[in-house]
Amino acid sequence: MHNHFTGFMFFGLALITACGTPVAEAPAPSDADTLRYDAEAHLRNVRQLTFGGDNAEAYWSFDSEKLVFQANNPAWGTGCDQIFWMDLEADATEKAEGLNQISNGQGRTTCAYFLPGDTTVVFASTHLADTLCPEVPPRGPKGEYVWPIYEGYDVFTYDLNGNPIAQLTFEPGYDAEATVSPTGDRMVFTSTRSGDLELYTCTLDGSDVVQVTSELGYDGGAFFSPDGSQLIWRASRPKTDEEVAHYTELLAEGLVEPTAMELFIANADGTDARQLTDLGGANWAPYFHPDGDRVLFSSNHKTAAFPFNIFMINTDGTGLTQVTFDNAFDSFPMFSPDGKRIAFSSNRNNGRTRNTNVFVADWVE
């Protein structure tokens, strides 16, 4: 989650440019479903919902009728990522007009998610620390590609009209990446309150905080299983003295290097944690299939650079399957609660710009 999709795009393009290799043309979409590539057997009726700018992390309402997402689109007057929502039938016109902004336009926001009842969302914002957009950091001290971990992020709830309801986190440091259990009783988020990037769960009012992970490395982007009993997330696990020193030095600067991440799965209380993937590269943005036995995720493991596509894997680590076949970037897959559709973010159909847009597709087994 945490809004780094644009960074991943730039990272991939930078590597491609540095290697002197031109961007390959993607295979032509099928005539009957013009935004779907022929090899995408699990997708039908791919529909583009936003047009222009950077739009990502679109997550469904409990009733499978609305999406909440973050966007930075100059046409909408945003200076950096802000939170919007749409009703798929009422708002998703050809030009994505009539979108509804929830965040107040101050600071940077990330990772919005509906709460039960679909009248309230939770997201992180830096607006209390600074009303201006925080500075995007350059590459790391040794030229490495990095994500910023802004200390100003705290987690808030707002209604769909943009009225603040509650602040849920008050600890110093980074608190963000909150998602809600399908059972509607708890949420999970990432925090640096321990001195490392760890997962925590809490009730929907921010109480009863329980630390879920404790191993050194970045634990983030977590989602609950359909029955709320498990968590799936992305993690880095520095092992050697050199890797540990590199990770801790970057974290002290408010940075993390996301180019080597694997998926981990555990019970919702953190017990029985195990590594799910061992693919290399960046494996991230996981989300459970409605059957609870499979996981969708985004990965660049085939190249360790570019492109990123969506894959599916069984929770026992078998059955790796490629779902999307873009030549650029597909990520943030999420099934609708009714299991009929997925939302995802993609660079397809962007006129060879760097625009990332939100798409919805029917899911086919």
Give the start-to-end residue ranges of the domains of the chain. Answer: 5-363
The predicted pLDDT at position 305 comes to 79
> Max CA-CA distance within the chain?
54
Tell whether the model's pLDDT for residue 291 goes beyond 80: yes
The predicted pLDDT at position 341 comes to 98
Q: Is the dihedral of CA 91, 134, 283, 21 positive or negative?
A: positive
Q: Which residues pair with 215 in a beta bridge?
A: none
- Give this prediction's pTM: 0.91
Question: pLDDT (tens digit, 9 = 90+) per residue, 238-279?
Answer: 999 999 999 999 999 999 999 999 999 999 999 999 999 999
Tell whether the model's pLDDT for residue 93 goes beyond 70: no
Task: Give how far Cα 255 sits from Cα of 107, 137, 252, 303, Å.
Answer: 18, 8, 7, 24
Q: Which CATH number fits domain 5-363: 2.60.200.20, 2.120.10.30, 2.40.50.140, 1.50.10.10?
A: 2.120.10.30
The predicted pLDDT at position 115 comes to 98
The predicted pLDDT at position 342 comes to 98
Tell whether the model's pLDDT for residue 27 goes beyond 80: no
The predicted pLDDT at position 139 comes to 81
Amino acid at 219: D
Question: pLDDT (tens digit, 9 = 90+) per residue, 39-51?
Answer: 999 999 999 999 9
Q: Tell me which residue of 274, 269, 123, 114 sits closest to 201, measured CA to CA.
A: 269
Q: How far apart are CA 63 and CA 182, in angstroms?
A: 11
The predicted pLDDT at position 270 comes to 97
Share of the chain above pLDDT 70, in %: 89
Binning pLDDT at 50, 70 and 90, where does residue 74 land? Answer: confident
Tell whether the model's pLDDT for residue 22 goes beyond 90: no
* β pairing state of 164-167 and 154-159: antiparallel
Question: pLDDT (tens digit, 9 = 90+) per residue, 54-73?
Answer: 999 999 999 999 999 999 99
